[in-house]
Structures are given as structure tokens and as C-alpha cells.
Structure 1
Amino acid sequence: MDTAEPAFEEPIPAVQSDGADESAVTDKSEETSAPAIDELTFDQAYDILGRCVTRHPLNRDVLYDALVYCKEERILRDAENHLAALPAFATATQNQYFLLMSLVKAYGLDYLERDDAGELVTAERKEGLTEDEIDDLVATVSFKTTEVGLEFVEQNKPQARLVSLLQLNPERNDTYREVLEFVDEQPRSYNDVKELLAGRPVLQTIIDGKLETMQPSVFVDKLERAGALVWNNGWTLTREGKEFLIDLKNK
């Protein structure tokens, strides 16, 4: 078995669907079918999914949320509407369909087609049919998180990422908490946080033996990467960020 890890390829962007005709994408079997993973180990598929989700910071939270949302099978229209309603989607670089298909190609989601009776439309059922006949056969397109995707969700929960962040630099914990409390009061800009932390000793760090001053935005960036902050006309707390702040206050 060839265990070399294949490179993840970006799918071709598709026109955003309005959900009115979900069968419209079913004649693109090469684009919508996940590559076979029988030559990959679970860990290899997991690593490919990890690169897909974390590759672009502006898409990361939307992709992670898609994996969570699709733990239960979701039809295309519902999945697209859910992603569009996320605050993080406002800054995403691709439309919902493209993002969902990225996860399919990265082994995080299964792409499922069903007929009017709700039965799966398999490759065997398509054999010998014309494209028009396949379009007539497929009534809905849906997505469901794979075992690889479920493991990724479990290992990358925002709560776990936040705990890891605090453990990494315990001397910054009070500042992280202060930033969370500051943002919880009202949406904040980078400049607001910069003014809050200006001149603080916590911004001093040693790099290559030299004393350097970090930008205050580092704290915002790390909290955003950990899933505590999201940009929504200003930096605001995510649901996980609010829960984490409550836990910190109760300690």
C-alpha cells in the first residue's frame, strides 16, 4: 500500500446555490465525490483535513462549524443557510458550497445523494444512466461529517484550544482574561485593544536574546485562533468565549 500522503487540492469554486434545485450539482460527479481513502491511513486523512481547515484564517471557523453542524446529515440548502448566518462568514473568502466541498475533498464530510424516497443514489445505481436520467433520479444533496471529521471536531474544540493557550504562557493569563472582559462589554476594534494594553510589561518578550515589544493585536489574534473571538462589526466574544470567561471568573 502506498502510504505517501497526497497533497490536498482545492476544489473548483461552484456557483453558490440558493437551494432551489439541489440536483443541479449532481452531474459533476468528479467534483462532488470525495476521493477514495482506501490508500490512506486515518492519521493521513486527519492531517489533510487539518491543513484544509487551518489553511486560511478567514475560513477556519466557518469550516470547523460546518463539521460540527453536519454531525447530523444536512441537506445542501440547510447547510448553506447555516454557514451564511455565522458571524465569521462575513469575512470568509469563498461561498458556502465551495467551503463544504473543500471539506468533502479533505475527508471531513461525506457527500450524499438521495432519491425521492430518501434512498442513497450510489455509483451502481447511476450505471447506464444518462446525465438527464441521473438528474431526475437525485432529489437531494446532503452532507454528513465523517469519522475523520468527528475526531477533528473532538480534538479541536474551542474550549480545549483556550485551555492550551493559557497553559502555553501562564504569565499572560490575566491579560487574556482582561481582553475577554473588555470585548464582552461591547464590540472592540484593534485600536481599542491597543489602547487598553499600551505600555504594559506583558508586551515585552525576548526574541533571539533581544528584548522586543509585541503588538497588542497578538492577544486578539491568539484568542481569535482559539475560537474565543470573532469579528462582527468589531471584535466580539463567541459563545465558547463567553462560556470560557464565565469559567475563568468562577475559579
Structure 2
Amino acid sequence: MEEVIAKRLASETKLQDALYRLIAFCEQERTYDEVADEIAAYPEMRGSAFPPSTILGWLVSVEAIWAVRDSSLEDEGGEADEPPTGAGAGQLDSKQSQAEREAEIFVSTEAGLAALCRYRSIDRFACLDDQNGRYRPVFVELLQFCKSTQSKQAIEAKLKDNPLTYNPRVFPGFFLDRLERSGALRWDGGWKTTEAGADWLVAYEGAVMPIENK
């Protein structure tokens, strides 16, 4: 199941990191409203055409997250659900009313957490070192530049005279795509270096310019 989860989330290239963060968020039981608020807080989700129920449904459909009835229903004479099993278990029902959906609790599955663990262990920044590291200085320049939010036009102007973008000609979109795929750069009303991107930058600069022992 872990492989199924990884493959499904990888298909959502621009949202993949956010989906894994949602699995981590649901390691503790969460209500629908809590999950919806968390999704709304992710920069990648701002202006998204997908409502929280759809985003959550993707994770439930591959059993990265379980949808179970609120255990507090036991106190009201109802019965709490056991975690569902089997193909399609725990999927969000499109015919559910808002009240029914809000009565559910969402929690990450063992398979979902295993996929998260593997995702965190992958060197997502390896793609920045292909071409024998030819373009690494450009990636570094962009991450430094985007510590403050930058427009695509500003980035294009920044790279306009960079000799590494010629012979062969490489356009800014190539660098933006690589940085976004690695999770180092994120669109949030403009291009902005992420926390992971800043960490990679610090590690890179430390390796290039090691601190001398005094």
C-alpha cells in the first residue's frame, strides 16, 4: 500500500509536499474542520480549484488517511467506527452531508506514515546536481534571490545575463520547475524560498565555504 500512496501523491507534482505534510498533521486524530483549516493554511492550496474534501479524499482513497466516525458518538448512544480495511475503505462519500462529514475523525494509517517516512528520507535535491552540477550556481543564486518573494518577471531579469543559461539556452522556467519539484521553492503570490530550500542553501554554502576553526 505504501507504493500505491507514493505513486498517487507523486502524480500531484505541485501539491505533493503539501499532501505529505497533511499526512504528518493527521498523525494525531483530527476533525474535518481542523483538516480543512490546515489545508487552507498551505500556500500551495491558496487559489486551488480543489475544495478540502477533494484533497482529503485523495489521501483517504489510497488509505494514507482513515476516515472514521467520531468516538464521541458513543456517548450519544451511537457507535464509533473501527478503522476500515480493504480496497477503498474509508473513502469520502460524495453524497455525505456536511454534518455527516464533520462528524468524522481523520487519522493517518501505518502505510501513510511509512510513505511519509520514505519521502522524508529521499534526497529530493539530487535533481539540482545533475549535469555534473553545471547549473548548481544558478539554483543557489535563485534561492538567495527568492528569500524575499519575487515575481517571474524579476527572476527572468535576474537570469537574463547569466552565462550559464546560454550554450545551450536554458530558460528560467527550467530552474523554477526543478526548484519547485525539489520543494526548495514555492509559489505564494510570487516565488519564495521554502524552509527546506533555505536549509539546503545553508548546507551548500557551508560545504563550499567551511567555517575555519580559530
TM-score for both structures, normalised by structure 2:
0.76
Q: Which residue of 1 aligns with 2:81?
A: 121
2:17 aligned to which of 61, 66, 70: 61
Distance 1:199 1:77, change over 3 A: same
Q: Which residue of 1 aligns with 2:196?
A: 240
Question: Per the alignment, in what secondary structure is the counterpart of residue 155 of structure 1?
Answer: helix
Structure 1: unaligned runs, 5 residues or longer? 1-44, 125-135, 205-210
Identity of aligned residues (%): 22
Per-residue deviation, residues 116-153 of structure 1 (Å, max 9, x unmatched): 258742499xxxxxxxxxxx999841222222222222
Per-residue deviation, residues 172-212 of structure 1 (Å, max 9, x unmatched): 2221111100001x2111222212112434224xxxxxx64
Q: Which residue of 2 aligns with 1:190?
A: 152
Q: Which residue of 1 aligns with 2:185?
A: 229
| Residue 86, structure 1, aligned to residue 42, structure 2 | yes
| Residue 168, structure 1, aligned to residue 124, structure 2 | no
Residue type of the partner of 2:145?
F
Once the two structures are superposed, the pairs formed by residues 1-251 of structure 1 within 5 Å of their partners are: 45-116=1-72, 117=74, 120-122=80-82, 140-157=103-120, 160-162=123-125, 164-169=126-131, 170-184=133-147, 186-204=148-166, 212-251=168-207
- How far, CA to CA, are the matches of 2:134 and 2:157 in structure 1? 20
Residue type of the partner of 1:173?
R
- How far, CA to CA, are the matches of 1:215 and 1:82 in structure 2? 35
* Aligned residues between the structures: 188
Question: Per the alignment, in what secondary structure is the counterpart of residue 68 of structure 2?
Answer: strand
Q: Is the 8 A contact 1:158 1:228 kept in 2?
A: no
Kindly state the Cα deviation for residue 78 of structure 1 after the two structures are TM-superposed: 0.7
| 4+ residue runs over 4 A deviation | 136-139
Root-mean-square deviation (CA, aligned residues, Å) is 2.8
Kindly state the Cα deviation for residue 57 of structure 1 after the two structures are TM-superposed: 3.2
